[in-house]
Amino acid sequence: MVKQAFGPFVSAFALAAMMPAPPAAADEVADFYRNRTVTVTVPVSPGGTFHLYAQLVQRHLGKYVPGAPTLILQNRPGAGGVTMNAYMANAAPKDGTVLAEINPGTITTPLLRKSRYDATKFEWLGSVAVRSYVGAVWHTVAADTVEKMKKTQVIMGSTGKGSQNYQIPALMNHLLGTRFKIVSGYKGGGELNIAMERGEIQGRANFYEGFVGAVPHWIRDRQLRFFFVLGPAIPALSSVPKLKDMITSKEGRQMLNLLEGTISVGQAFYLPPGTPRARVAAVTRAFASMVSDKQFLSDARAHKLAIAPLSAAEVRSHVKELYATPPEVARKFAKILGLDAPRGGKKAKKKS
């Protein structure tokens, strides 16, 4: 079911959309974007809801940007989205002609290992949806509960260590004693879904709406067995245990909060650092107008995509809070994931 924004979400976006731009700045922005092409960059390959959300933005944002530019999509998969973030921070044009969708799990990667970007520096436009995260195995897999997974190995697919579909199973192995074997290298949700159907992997962690939007027949035909929920409650999965309830140690909860914090950002979009302020402001206002657009919402419903947006200010606040995570928590989490030292830490010496 598609969820629409109410209460503070509407207020925040309404205020942003209503903020007028100075006439001279508006004219400059319109002159720049008129007859231009703007690229919406996607951190994974086609086939999943990350791509579908980016398509929504590509179809509907342009009419609200001064000058009405043409928007196109470009997929830049790699390392679960880390590759694209580094591109946006260092190589992408800083003129407002390239914007990107974040894989939320990669927001905190710079806290866990040396990275070529800092998510607090991105020019956040807002988020189209905050979604719940789940663990699922194919219906033929016998080990379909966490207790069973402590005794039996289950092969989980992942796009890379920067993604939640790697980090959550790895943390569960450390804290709960599950026996997940995590296979990385898939370029996106579409490839992971195909791998599950073929039996290459037995399960994956994913946004629940990711399954609903990309493979709704799996939900309808009960092809999946869910074994945890993280984030907002899902009425349809009320009997599935919450991951938070399984983890009782203070240290474990701190690390889980680091993961849940990235989920709270949702499907957010951003411009590169260094983009001219007037263009950032104009595209931010356009984003705020887009998420309440009737055609945008109708298109989302047609693709079974949840819409529960955050404003640019709310996204920035969440990211700032994540980057305030105690360094010792980040270091321990990085060690569990098998990553090198985070910012401020010392890289372990390689054994000869």
Look up the CATH number of the domain holding residue 239: 3.40.190.10
Does residue 60 fall inside a structural domain?
A: yes
How many helices (H) and strands (E) the chain has is answered by 16, 11
Q: What is the CB neighbour count within 10 angstroms for residue 174?
A: 16
| Whole-number Å distance between alpha carbons of 291 and 111 | 31
- pTM of the prediction? 0.83
Count of Cβ atoms closer than 10 Å to residue 225 Cβ: 18
Instruction: Please report the pLDDT score of residue 47 as a whole number.
Output: 87
Flag whether 352 is in a domain.
Answer: no
Q: Tell me the C-alpha distance between 204 and 156, whole Å.
A: 5
Angstrom distance (rounded) from CA 244 to CA 175: 12
Virtual torsion, Cα 31, 267, 56, 123, nearest 10 deg? 0
Domain shared by 69 and 150, yes or no: no
Q: What is the pLDDT of residue 200?
A: 97
Residues 53 and 118 in one domain: yes
Same domain, yes or no: 151 and 250: yes
- Residue 342 confidence (pLDDT): 55
125 and 270 together in one domain:
yes
Let me know if residue 72 belongs to a domain: yes
Q: What is the CATH number of the domain that holds 118?
A: 3.40.190.150
> Which domain covers residue 248, as residue numbers?
133-261
Contact 44, 77 (CB under 8 A): yes
Shared domain check, 268 and 227: no
DSSP-derived 3-state class of residue 19: coil
Sign, CA dihedral 86-87-91-96, equals negative
Residue 335 within any structural domain of the chain: no
Identify the band that residue 52 occupies on the pLDDT scale cut at 50, 70 and 90: very high
In a domain, 215, yes or no: yes
Task: Verify that 59 and 120 share a domain, yes or no.
Answer: yes
**Residue 351 within any structural domain of the chain:** no
Whether residue 212 lies inside any domain: the answer is yes
- Statement to judge: residues 138 and 252 lie in one domain: yes
pLDDT digits (tens, 9 = 90+) for 160-199: 988 899 999 999 999 999 999 999 999 999 999 999 999 9
| Cβ atoms of 330 and 342 closer than 8 Å | yes
Q: Confirm whether 69 is domain-assigned.
A: yes
Query: For residue range 117-146, what is the model confidence (pLDDT) as tens digits?
Result: 999 999 999 999 999 999 999 999 999 999
Final residue before a domain boundary, out of 205, 240, 261: 261
Q: Which of 302, 271, 300, 312 is nearest to 57 (CA)?
A: 300
Answer with the one of 211, 242, 261 that is the final residue of a domain: 261
In this structure, the answer to whether residues 113 and 87 fall within a common structural domain is yes
What is the distance of C-alpha 218 from the center of its chain?
22
8 A C-beta contact, residue 95 and residue 276: yes
Residues 19 and 125 in one domain: yes
Last residue of a domain, one of 261, 285, 304: 261
Q: Which pLDDT tens digit goes with each residue over 216-255?
A: 999 999 999 999 999 988 999 999 999 999 999 999 999 9
**What is the number of other CB atoms lying within 10 angstroms of the CB of residue 96?**
23
Q: Where do the DSSP E strands lie in the chain?
A: 37-42, 70-75, 98-101, 123-127, 133-138, 154-157, 180-183, 203-207, 224-230, 268-271, 310-311
Q: What is the C-alpha separation between 143 and 311, in angstroms, rounded? A: 40
Q: 299 and 224: one domain? A: no
Q: For residue range 267-293, list pLDDT tens digits in order.
A: 999 999 999 999 999 999 999 999 999
Task: Give the total number of structural domains in the chain.
Answer: 2
Nearest to 179 by CA among 208, 198, 156: 156
